[in-house]
Amino acid sequence: MTPVQMHPRPASANPIHRTVAEVMDAAGPQVCDDMSVEVALSVMAAARTGRLVVCDQDGQCTGLVTQAELTAVRDGSAYTDRVRLRDILGDRWTFTSPVTTAAEAERTMRYLRLGALPVVDEQGSALGILALSR
């Protein structure tokens, strides 16, 4: 029989105590909120991603848009090439902090029916994206 040395697991290994910073994905492409829907869709295609972090002129995160959202806007009867990302986001700025527990962030996302949530620092800069596993 071979002896096995046991090491205590760090507290962060417990899923209940893990923070958003430990489980978030990289922020990916970040675009300015004055970008048009068509250009944003092109950026997504080139980056092979289904979502973009949207920032204002000061580099502060203002939200997240998905390919499905942008496609629905583009295919809508009210669409013009003057529609900008800021027009789509409106006032639905929902974010999370990197020190929030992953469990708490997941509850919030499920309650608000969000598939992904930007993770921002104290200055409002995007650090990453927290996405629900399906």
Span 110-133, pLDDT tens digits: 998 888 999 999 999 999 999 987
DSSP conformational letter for 92: -
- Euclidean distance between CA atoms 127 and 98, whole angstroms: 8
Coil, strand, or helix at residue 103? Answer: helix
Angle at which helix 67-75 crosses helix 37-47, to 10 degrees, equals: 140
**Picking from 6-15, 22-31, 81-90, 110-119, which range would have the lowest pLDDT averaged per residue?**
6-15
What's the whole-model pTM score?
Answer: 0.80
Strand partners, 49: none
Higher local confidence (pLDDT), 28 or 93: 28
Q: Where are the alpha helices (DSSP H) in the chain?
A: 20-23, 37-47, 67-75, 85-89, 102-112
Task: With a cut of 60, say whether residue 11 has pLDDT above it.
Answer: no
Please write the tens of the pLDDT for every residue from 34-64.
999 999 999 999 999 999 999 999 999 999 9
Higher local confidence (pLDDT), 83 or 3: 83
Write down the pLDDT at residue 93.
73
Write down the pLDDT at residue 94.
85
Distance of CA 46 to the CA centre of its chain: 18
Domains and CATH numbers, the chain: 18-131 (3.10.580.10)
Nearest to 49 by CA among 74, 72, 31, 22: 31
Question: If you average pLDDT over every residue of the chain, what do you get?
Answer: 86
